[in-house]
Amino acid sequence: MRTQVAIIGAGPSGLLLSHLLHLEGVDTVVVESQSRAYVEARIRAGVLEHGAAQTLVEAGVGARLQREGLVHHGINLNFSGQTHRIDLSDLTGGSAVTVYGQHEVVKDLIEARLSSGGDLRFAASDVQISGIDGDAPGLAFTQDGQRQEIACAFVAGCDGFHGVSRGYVPASQHRIYERSYPFAWLGILAAARPASEELIYARHANGFALLSMRSAEITRAYLQCAPDEDLAQWSDAHVWDELHKRLEVDGAFRVNEGPILQRGVTPMRSFVIEPMQYRRLFLVGDAAHIVPPTGAKGMNLAMADVRVLSRALADYFRSGKTDRLDAYSATCLRRVWQVQRFSWWMTALLHRFPDADAFGERLRDAELRHVVSSRAASRVLAENYVGLPYDI
């Protein structure tokens, strides 16, 4: 088999890259370890920045997003027993975010790729990269018991944080920057009408809580918990009890309960590998960086990488020019670090740190108060939340 770009991973990164390259006339094969049913059902992130939603619409894969996505013009911050609304649209000259599950984005992209004859290989095991040092890289994988090989010009590692691609960058050629947090998120998906039309981020003495949604009937919510939290210790009643406590600050509303459909623990980590390229291998999305989910940035940052790489590869295959490809890592890392900073800041502001002293707690309260009472400070939050411009 031969293709121009071999892509490992059918998450948002790999699928969007394959789709955007197809629009540019560049041929790809996507190799994914899980089944199609699995990736289409996996519940992950759910908030699209203004520019990310626009990217999908402009690429012709935004019809269902525009029909079913929930456009949010504001978010709420709860602390010290009060709710404060941040008017995202007013503060950013009209931008907004769209609540639309990552798995819905994945479904739309798979559908678009398959309907235009895209080559997606699901349930592929033992993916191996070869020849990235030379001019003839390739991928090998096993599917239906058969070992298969793809020759290509470039490999795109879109295989997430636990993928294999990052391991092909030699230790002497990269540096890793990381930070772990002394807490995690217990996330639930429930068949309950969301109690608030907009997201609520809450700082509470018992720990952070977030009320989100997937539709008019499905609530998504998170509770700060220990990194090694034992889910078995959390009865449904205990989960709802904590959500009521942490989210219902001023008696203005009550969290609606319903059957819990899914639950899981999300670790909190900040991670960056530099550079995001080694010879003919490009790392994209979670394969190259992880942000804590507080700012809702993971999927958006992945899509920003894809925009940069798809343009650079299109340039290369059209005219042989390599300047954009050579600048891929530096271009992406500018945004990556802006987003790392914002995600770290939102996380530090809203969570309870086990080792925080009373002075630190007061400083955090003061900072939150500043964020909601100064228009300049509110704007800083809003412009990061709806997404920084792509040309930073």
Active site residues: 72, 201, 293, 297, 385
34 binds, among ligand PHB, ligand APR, none (CB under 5 to 8 A by kind): ligand APR
Query: Looking at the DSSP assignment, which residues form a beta bridge with residue 98?
Result: 48, 71
CB atoms closer than 10 angstroms to residue 85: 15
User: Does 220 sit near ligand PHB (CB under 6 A)?
Assistant: yes
| Residue in 294, 310, 329, 331 binding ligand PHB, rule: CB under 6 A | 294
- CA 300: distance to chain centroid? 5
Which of ligand PHB, ligand APR, none interacts with 212 (beta carbon under 5 to 8 A by kind)? ligand PHB
Told to check if 28 binds ligand APR by CB under 6 A, we report no
Q: Which listed range, 39-47, 56-64, 129-137, 302-310, lies at the site for ligand PHB (CB under 6 A)?
A: 39-47
Closest CA to 164 of 287, 307, 29: 287
Q: Which is nearer to ligand PHB, 20 or 303 (CB)?
A: 303
For ligand APR, the binding residue among 198, 286, 343, 386 (CB under 6 A) is: 286
Cβ(101)–Cβ(214) below 8 Å = yes
Considering the rule CB under 6 A, would residue 194 count as an interface residue with ligand APR?
A: no
Which residue lies nearer to ligand PHB by CB, 154 or 342? 342
**33 lies in the site for ligand APR, by CB under 6 A:** yes
Contact residue for ligand APR among 5, 221, 302, 382 (CB under 6 A): 302
Question: Does 47 contact ligand PHB by CB under 6 A?
Answer: yes
Task: Provide the pairing of β-strand 146-151 with 138-143.
Answer: antiparallel
Output the smallest distance, CB 165 to ligand APR, in A.
8
State which of residues 69, 118, 138, 163 lies at the interface with ligand APR (CB under 6 A): 163
| Residue 10 contact, options ligand PHB, ligand APR, none, Cβ 5-8 Å cut-off depending on partner type | ligand APR
Tell me which stretch binds ligand APR (CB under 6 A): 31-39, 179-187, 270-278, 368-376. 31-39
Binding ligand PHB by CB under 6 A: which of 212, 277, 329, 340? 212
Residue 299 interacts with ligand APR (CB under 6 A)?
yes
Q: Among ligand PHB, ligand APR, none, what does residue 47 contact (CB within 5–8 Å per kind)?
A: ligand PHB
Q: Which two tokens stand for residue 43?
A: 């519940």
Residues that bind ligand PHB (CB under 6 A): 45-47, 199, 210, 212, 220, 293-294, 296
Residues that bind ligand APR (CB under 6 A): 8-14, 31-34, 39, 44-45, 102, 127, 158-160, 162-164, 285-286, 298-299, 302
